[in-house]
Structure 1
């Protein structure tokens, strides 16, 4: 048996933006697929959900339609059961007559060319049979079956006849997406307790039913939440992180619906799963901010389209609001003299010495940020930035600075005290906003200085550092992570973020100006 390991959760079809950690091969695949989808915009797939309802919108037909839209498909819906439920549980179920279910199905297929079908809650043997007859007559090109058989509590939802009917429907599907308890029912075993056991059950189902199985690890214990596309002769695993939230209502419905939509776009199941899983992980990460219900709430299906309602990023709005500070920084005496190559050596060395003291504390702030970051990606980025502060930038500074350990100037202490104060309050979003100007303003000023980095410039190697693609990419990711934090923050916290951001911008400006205000003995410029 061959096995492929997918490692890169990808963006929704409309985006091929790179993320830190993406391999060149994965990025190339992302770009090719994004271009293929963009070229197919004259044929938006039409995807039909056959499912029960959820009045609170987190699961069932409502979740399916949201998932189709998030994947760029056009969604349609046929109701198998009217369910009175909320985030705390089910209160009642009304099943329409089978003749009306058949009338719904035929009214769609008689008029609309269907590119894919996603089947969810069926509820009874009679309903399964009605859907089976319709599938046999219409023969949709793609069928994804989410066999709703076991509740999250572990309770069986179907009687024996209905379970047998569901087993008989599985071979008519192209992809079947059971959770761990449902996989056990379909294979006649006990629910798997390990990933290896679940894989074996999925392999058995794929071989016996002649279908592709989407194996979902969400019900297993542990920090990881891996998924896999399981064929009779191959397995493609997609690693994933477990998001710490109680708001997981409808995750199974949503993932299978996203797979149906992506399959309708023409993606293979192996290419579709990283995209669907990456989107669902983001939706879980943003779920708590929705505040829907008092029980197990829904995921945020619209997390990746929120920018349509808020076209400007939070960070960009703050950046624009600080245009006066930015102008004062780039036009200040230190930056203009440094660009011209006329800055005295004593003032440059004084600046580097103070910046070294600052970088020590800034690295601690970045390490604190990594410790409270909500995602592995954010943790890794802030931790790496902290390490680079101490190693790469400090080494460059030391190559120019004199030996000795000067005391921190008042300006340096003011800046580091600000970062420490924000860090002490413990808000990830506020601290991200506070550290961002050291990336962004440095990059903006640095790019201006890099243009002046002619070979004969006395500080050419230092100037060139801040105009590099690496520093520009780090700034982009820092902006993106801060925007994500702002998206999950409430109005009061965003107000504190804005205050922390502007204060850091002002302190960066004053830090640039401080060397020209210091009383220093003149020294000649270094010769090159």
Structure 2
């Protein structure tokens, strides 16, 4: 059994955006899109849209503290992303909470400068934000914000951006994600700047300008993504690289959302929608129930066949039964080869052992048919007839295509239909029934157990497969079920050594 993947629990501490493109709303989308479970504590209620901020309401800090404590008293927090803090009092409240709780990953997106260039924090709040930096693992300022943190003019060249990031990292003992988005030109690098062995070290990430108006909330979204991925991997460079790749994809698809008439949001889930789709995967139980219902008509046809009815009543002509058994023996010979192929392709030892054991049982079954039923009947079914050949060709071709999941779906009806038919016919048989011994083999508890295991393996594999593979598995299953019907329906009364079938 594979280990359950740990989902990072990530808390966003930030303001709101009623259009959903920035702030806490963007943070929660970003956290989810990058594999985390998002939580949120509101620092400010912001009336804004894609054109800008209209007003800000800051709730009492006592309530902010209550929100923070309510979360941390109950939930183990793997990472914190901090956005808009608004006032010195809010910053100090968050700082005191960080000092008590000590989350393992803390990322600060210092919301200090509006898109218009206006400063959003007064001098006291800016100083309080600098005091917060030692409690943070990573700070993600844009170029104007980096200038404020480093007490320098806004950089206009990448080398100056790196220098300012290094100064902030050294002074406050914090990693800095230096971002080149405000520079001119088409190449917009970013860099993770940190202090390693007392020296400033940077890892650069290449970037190209994307011509779009859908950049609202990119800073919020990137910082949340890095926090989530850092909590999951423990690797800041990898977390940053993967987050940037995700953000680039999300920016490119933002225009498709059609949200707002100003600077629109990015499309946080564009990649997931494109690669994963919106269809939910069925459970193992749902696959089993659906596939069994899919062959209800085939099963009903099998029940009404003269061969099956005669077999159940014990009135079937002996020549018809022996002709059937001879073809079954020939079928089992190649069926065992296909089962062995399934064992060879199986993804784990448990499934390998199951299919290998089934192959061995098929060989034993073939020998038993010859020894116990067909001995002394040399003229019966020396070669596969057309129906048997068609079924085996289907299985062998499926095996040759190489998809283990589709192959085992094709193998399943030989378990499931036989076990169902044999068990029901066996309950209607009686002492002295001409074919009771044969029926007993298919009603045997060991065969029922093997059938149940085969169903679980195949249905579980289908439930975990992508939609296209699951559809191919179902098609292979249905094809085999139709071959089972044809196998029961074939008239083999006159079949002899030439392998001919009059049907």
TM-score, normalised to structure 1, is 0.51
Q: State which of 118, 129, 132 in structure 2 corresponds to 1:166.
A: 129
Q: Tell me the CA shift for residue 44 of structure 1.
A: 1.0
Does structure 1 retain, via aligned residues, the 8 Å contact 2:233–2:239? no
Matches within 5 A, 1:79-478: 79-232=42-195, 233-307=200-274, 308-309=276-277
Hey, what's the Cα distance between the residues in 2 that align with 1:299 and 1:224?
20
Q: State which of 46, 56, 75 in structure 1 corresponds to 2:19.
A: 56
Deviations 1:382-414 (A, max 9, x none): xxxxxxxxxxxxxxxxxxxxxxxxxxxxxxxxx
Hey, what's the Cα distance between the residues in 2 that align with 1:151 and 1:39?
47
**What is residue 303 of structure 2 aligned with on the other side?**
none
Q: Give the 3 Å change call, closer, same or farther, for CA 103–271 of structure 1 in structure 2.
A: same
Hey, what's the Cα distance between the residues in 2 that align with 1:67 and 1:165?
27
Please state whether the residue corresponding to 1:188 is helix, strand or coil: coil
Q: Tell me the CA shift for residue 39 of structure 1.
A: 7.0
| Unaligned stretches of 5+ residues in structure 2 | 281-400, 402-503
Deviations 1:77-127 (A, max 9, x none): 000000011001111111110110000000000000000100000000000
**What is residue 31 of structure 2 aligned with on the other side?**
68
Q: Tell me the CA shift for residue 225 of structure 1.
A: 1.7
Q: Give the 3 Å change call, closer, same or farther, for CA 191–115 of structure 1 in structure 2.
A: same
Q: Give the 3 Å change call, closer, same or farther, for CA 111–310 of structure 1 in structure 2.
A: closer
| Unaligned stretches of 5+ residues in structure 1 | 1-37, 313-447, 449-528
Hey, what's the Cα distance between the residues in 2 that align with 1:40 and 1:85?
43
Larger Rg: 2
Deviations 1:479-515 (A, max 9, x none): xxxxxxxxxxxxxxxxxxxxxxxxxxxxxxxxxxxxx
**What is residue 514 of structure 1 aligned with on the other side?**
none
Q: Give the 3 Å change call, closer, same or farther, for CA 136–40 of structure 1 in structure 2.
A: farther
Please state whether the residue corresponding to 1:231 is helix, strand or coil: strand
Hey, what's the Cα distance between the residues in 2 that align with 1:92 and 1:204?
34
Q: Tell me the CA shift for residue 53 of structure 1.
A: 0.3
Hey, what's the Cα distance between the residues in 2 that align with 1:68 and 1:41?
19
Bigger RCO of structures 1 and 2 (CA < 8 A, at least 6 apart):
1
Hey, what's the Cα distance between the residues in 2 that align with 1:220 and 1:149?
18
Hey, what's the Cα distance between the residues in 2 that align with 1:162 and 1:272?
29
Q: Tell me the CA shift for residue 167 of structure 1.
A: 0.8
Deviations 1:110-146 (A, max 9, x none): 0000001000000000000100110111111111011
Q: Give the 3 Å change call, closer, same or farther, for CA 278–111 of structure 1 in structure 2.
A: same
Q: Tell me the CA shift for residue 43 of structure 1.
A: 1.9
Hey, what's the Cα distance between the residues in 2 that align with 1:252 and 1:97?
26
Hey, what's the Cα distance between the residues in 2 that align with 1:258 and 1:160?
29
Hey, what's the Cα distance between the residues in 2 that align with 1:206 and 1:60?
25
